[in-house]
Chain A
Amino acid sequence: MNHEFWYLSRAAGFTAYLLLFASMALGMMITSRVGSGGKRQNLVFDMHRFVSVLALLVTAFHAYILLGDQYLNFNVWQLSVPFLSPYRGMAVAVGVVSAYALALVVASFWMRQRIGFRAWRMIHFFSFVLYAGATAHGIAAGTDTSTLWAGAMYFGTCLILLALLVYRIDYAMRQRDETLRREAVKTAKKTRRLAA
């Protein structure tokens, strides 16, 4: 029996996961200005968008290459509709839902002006949930989870994203404090001027 489709799907799964990680990291680098200040900001934003599209394409390849697999004989519906898969139903369903969420986030890049900043931001926050879903899918459905390299990959990527998230929150808090301080100084100056 030909196993190449199965191996290709697994390889594409890892690639899609790493692309998703890269996209998330680039996104957080933009908002927290890590290595993306000045002229580089445009490049980082463009790459964030491009890597997201690439992640979506590789995810689609990861799923639909299984149509060629003769061992489980998947059909399009089993790969597209959650809970229809005969192989690890729950884990695959989480993966399918995460893939749809990724499609939504990617589409939102081009719908920002139509849907408004607040909705776009909400959809973007949703990417953390989709990343968690993709990780859970990889761990639960992947047959390589028990290997050292796969474990190190999941652990390493999650750790880096967590560090970037902590930095992002800290950056946002510092920005807010700075704005409040500036406003306080402005108000004090105004009060002094009025008193004089």
Chain B
Amino acid sequence: MLQMKKHTTAKIAAIIASLATMAAAFGLVQYEAIGTATADAATSNAPVAGPSQANLAPAKSAATAKTKSAQPSVRAVTRTHVS
């Protein structure tokens, strides 16, 4: 009886550990995806919305707008970000 209780406890612990691992991994991959997208946006000089944008010359604004539209989504970045 005691042995069976021990086994059941160990199995429940294994299930809880698995769920915790999955939750942690979910957070980690989401963090990585957002981090990668942010880093990519920073290196490609993506425009940041703010008052300074309004002061840019029209030609430059058009160029940056094009860059922004060409930006891959968070998902695309993470899927192509492979070794």
List A residues at the B interface (Cβ < 8 Å): 1, 3, 6-8, 10-12, 14-15, 18-19, 39, 42-43, 46-47, 50-51, 54, 58, 71, 142-147, 149
Q: What B residues does A47 contact at CB under 8 A?
A: 7, 10-11, 14
A-B contact pairs, 21 of them (CB 8 A): A1-B73, A3-B74, A7-B29, A10-B25, A10-B29, A11-B22, A11-B23, A11-B25, A11-B26, A14-B22, A15-B21, A19-B18, A43-B7, A46-B11, A47-B10, A50-B11, A71-B79, A142-B82, A144-B28, A145-B82, A145-B83
Distance in angstroms between the alpha carbons of A145 and B32 in the assembled complex: 11
Least CB distance from B37 to A in Å reads: 11
Within 8 Å CB of A50, what residues of B? Answer: 11, 14
A46 to B8, CA, bound (A): 10
Q: Could you say which of B10, B22, B32, B74 has the most chain A C-beta atoms within 10 Å of its C-beta? A: B22
Contact partner of B75 among A3, A42, A58, A149, CB < 8 A? A3
Q: In the complex, which residues of chain A have a beta carbon less than 8 angstroms from the beta carbon of B83?
A: 145-146
Mark B residues whose CB is within 8 Å of A: 3, 6-7, 10-11, 14-15, 18, 21-23, 25-26, 28-30, 32-33, 73-75, 78-79, 81-83
- Determine whether the beta carbon of B29 is less than 8 Å from that of A144: yes
Chain A at the B interface: SS class: helix
Whether the Cβ atoms of B26 and A7 lie closer than 8 Å is yes
Chain B's nearest CB lies how many Å from the CB of A128?
22
